[in-house]
Amino acid sequence: MVDAMVNTPRVQLVCRAGVQVGLGHLIRTREVVRALDGQARSEMVIIGEADLARTLLGQRGGWTTVTSDRQAFERIRSFDPRLVVFDLLDFDEQLLRSIVTRRRTASISPVFSGLADMDAVFTRAPLPGDVTARLAKPQVYDGPRYATIGPHVRRIGGREYRENLAADALAVAISMGGADAANNTLRIVEAIRAVRARLVLWVLLGEGYAHSYQALVDCVGRDRHHEIILAKTRDSMWRILRACSVVISAGGITTFEAAYAGLPSIVVLQREQDRFLIDPLCVAGAAVHAGAPPDKEALQSVVRTVERLSGDRQRLVNMHHAAKGLLDNQGARRIAERLVALCAGCDSRRVAACG
């Protein structure tokens, strides 16, 4: 047993989470940590809010929170991992340089500023050509097979989906991420009131939603045409989504979970340059891109798309079927296996400490 523990590689996963940056990185990292269980000794370092992390991860060990990149760096020195895995948009450049020259590194975020310095990059969609042209060093693993779908998401059967779709009022979910820093939820609720067809709107608010609930309540109170339900969700989120016929999402993890489940998506991106992340879903016919950022034109596109889909239920059935076979729930396992294999070549890269 002691020999097994000595030979078990240490893997440290660093992510960022909070109201401003969202919770998608934390959720994805959590799934990879779960997949690493039994294969590596792992620790999650979350740069962000401890209370938010505790809500999503519970009290059990295996994770810690810090408030800065420097503190994360010091934690890496203390844990002394063979491999450091990043899931964030950026990291202090000088500290990152110190890490990559002494340890193996990987990124499970496809939009990380340090991609070119990684040994391996995992992305749920092929990277744009101008990005791959700069990635001479890392081995890139791309495509929907590397999307991390958690065990809480179950597929929606064809019969179940058709039964939901048969209701007179189309059931539409709005899920703009766990934090929704830009409060696009409110913008979409205000805009979608213009849809002439009757709707049942499920407005899902994540743990990190810090905007005014009263503003949403006031907006809902002004609507006499649609039925609108506000729901703060965590574990119950997919119990609600299973009863819906389409979800308006921000293009992150929920969009890919929806494709796996067979729930069509209308995607409103934060940034136009992130379009590549949803291209596999749009090309397959499982999702529709409404625009980015959520300005007036994009919001009008959402309204038009909901109108068309409400009047063309067969298209929604086709989108439901298009998602089948596109994704499975083995992405986190595939990433974990690659990470463990990457650890095998780490010894020549390691030094006593990051300096």
Domains of the chain as residue ranges with CATH: 2-149+330-349 (3.40.50.11380), 158-323 (3.40.50.2000)
pLDDT for 124 equals 95
Name the amino acid, one letter, at 27: I
What is the rounded distance in angstroms from the CA atom of residue 192 to the CA atom of residue 264? 17
pLDDT for 299 equals 92
Q: How many residues does the chain have?
A: 355
pLDDT for 352 equals 38
| pLDDT, average across residues 269-279 | 90
pLDDT at 233 over 60: yes
Q: Answer for the pair 238, 206: CB distance below 8 angstroms, yes or no.
A: no
pLDDT at 1 over 60: no
Chain segment 7-48, per-residue pLDDT in tens: 789 999 999 998 777 888 999 999 999 999 999 999 999 999
Strand order, beta sheet including 10-17: 63-66, 41-48, 10-17, 83-87, 104-107, 120-123, 139-142
Across-strand partners of 142? 123
Chain segment 133-170, per-residue pLDDT in tens: 999 999 999 999 999 999 989 999 999 999 999 999 99
Q: Answer for the pair 322, 144: CB distance below 8 angstroms, yes or no.
A: no
- Tokens, residue 179: 């934090």
**What's the number of CA atoms in the CB half-sphere (13 Å) around residue 4?**
4
Nearest Cα residue to 203 out of 179, 222, 224, 220: 220
| pLDDT, average across residues 322-340 | 95
Name the amino acid, one letter, at 121: V
Top mean pLDDT of 57-61, 219-223, 321-325 is at 321-325
Mean pLDDT (the chain) is 90
Across-strand partners of 104? 83
Q: Which of 87-101, 148-162, 234-248 has the lowest mean pLDDT?
A: 234-248
pLDDT for 6 equals 54
| pLDDT, average across residues 328-337 | 97
| pLDDT, average across residues 296-325 | 94
DSSP single-letter state for residue 81: -
Chain segment 113-123, per-residue pLDDT in tens: 999 999 999 99
DSSP single-letter state for residue 22: B
